[in-house]
Amino acid sequence: MDNPVCPLDYRYGREEIINVFGETSKLQFLLDVEAALARAHAKVGNISEQAAGEITKKATTKFVKASRVKEIELDTKHDIMAVTRALAEQCSGDAGKYIHLGATSYDIVDTANALQFKQATDMIKAQLKLLRKTLVKLAKTHKKTIMLGRTHGQFSIPITFGLKMAVYAMETDRHLERLHEGQSRILVGKMSGAVGTGAALGAHAMKIQQLVMQDLGLGVEEAATQIVGRDRYIELLCICANIAASMEKFATEIRNLQRSEIQEVAEAFEAKKQVGSSTMPHKRNPITSEQVSGLARLVRSNVIVGFENAVQWHERDLANSSSERFILPHSLILTDWIVYQMNDVFANLKVFPENMKKNMQHARGLPMAEAVMMKLVDTGIGRGEAHELVRTCSQTAIAHDSDLLSELLKEKSVCGSLPKKDITDAMDPQYYLGMAEHIVDDVVKKLTR
């Protein structure tokens, strides 16, 4: 294409998965289904093995060219009829007259879709596994790297960067589980004719459908209309959207932690050549994470169209066809891409423990307020009273631009209950990490295989 419009043609997406949805590949999947149908007919005795063999031999893009299919479609105004005629032209003897025998167009289209989904979801699974491995490595490396936890955009209590990565690793693992489980419902085809009765396939209709799907390695749509149930496609799109939401979540955290006033992590930046801004020479922007955030929103938006397509008139209409040509390949290609991009971000991530330590110090001890409160509770003070004591000291520290430790040491009720050493120890983040290290160890053990 000399002047491409879609950014998938020149900007986003890995070539490997884009090829699954390319024009030639799509044609080959359709031909694969037609060939499997012919072989099934031969097995039940409806056509000769010779005819099925000839159809199978010629059902490749080596013989059936996309350009010829387009020529025929200009006349037929029907894409699958164009495919079957182009295939028939290449078949010797009388084999051509048995092509597409007893099938409806969407027997071929939806079964070919499932073949595409099979390859695409396997590719996404592979990318998720790589990301999970990268996150596990970061979790292990930084299980003792202390940083500020933040809730509502404010200081909360200490956490470790390793625990943050362990959380992401487990979330990624759950997506792998969802995708694996979903494949059994998503990777199905049908071969049951115009309204699902299989009437045109004859007495062996059920056997033919079973043979075709076994041949292609797909599940069977047990009861269909003219199409495979679109609840299956909705599930696929929702899984993609769920994965996309996690990738944007991860990307947003990188973007926030790379902010100039935080600078606890940063995307890799090739200082010798990479340009951050056309006008601000100093800029180092988290461009990959920002790209992931933008594309993730597009993946999620496609779910709406998927739900709309589930509403069909009677046994089906054609309203779903045009939009599915966009949302199915785009959702799968972009999901694969943003997982791939997030893996690249994390695999090359710059982590700055010293900045994490500085930011903790700049917080003037406020993130340790809960730790002091719990120490006071241990002495027998009621939890509510302890909370109020430390809250008052915290608010005074904020109002006077002082530090929490100083205010605590001025408070008689605190000093009278806790020795100074206990107060000082409670203000040390390394003593208030709870089970963080243990959690990371458990996650690493579970996900290292």
Can 293 be counted among the known catalytic residues?
A: no
Determine the Cα–Cα distance for residues 277 and 257; give it in Å rounded to an integer: 20
Burial class (CB in 10 A: 0-12, 13-18, 19+), 169: buried
Selecting among 152, 184, 260, 314, the annotated active-site residue is 152
239: nearest Cα among 295, 290, 176, 289? 176
Determine the Cα–Cα distance for residues 230 and 307; give it in Å rounded to an integer: 8
Pairing mode, strands 265-266 and 350-351: antiparallel
Selecting among 92, 180, 277, 362, the annotated active-site residue is 277
- Angle, alpha carbons 83-86-87 (nearest 5°): 85
Can 289 be counted among the known catalytic residues?
A: no
For the chain, the straight-line distance linking the first and the last C-alpha, in angstroms and rounded, comes to 44
* 2 Cβ neighbours under 8 A, 6+ residues apart: none
Determine the Cα–Cα distance for residues 183 and 219; give it in Å rounded to an integer: 9
Determine the Cα–Cα distance for residues 158 and 105; give it in Å rounded to an integer: 60
Tally DSSP H helices, then E strands, for the chain: 18, 6
Determine the Cα–Cα distance for residues 358 and 195; give it in Å rounded to an integer: 68
**Active-site positions?**
152, 277
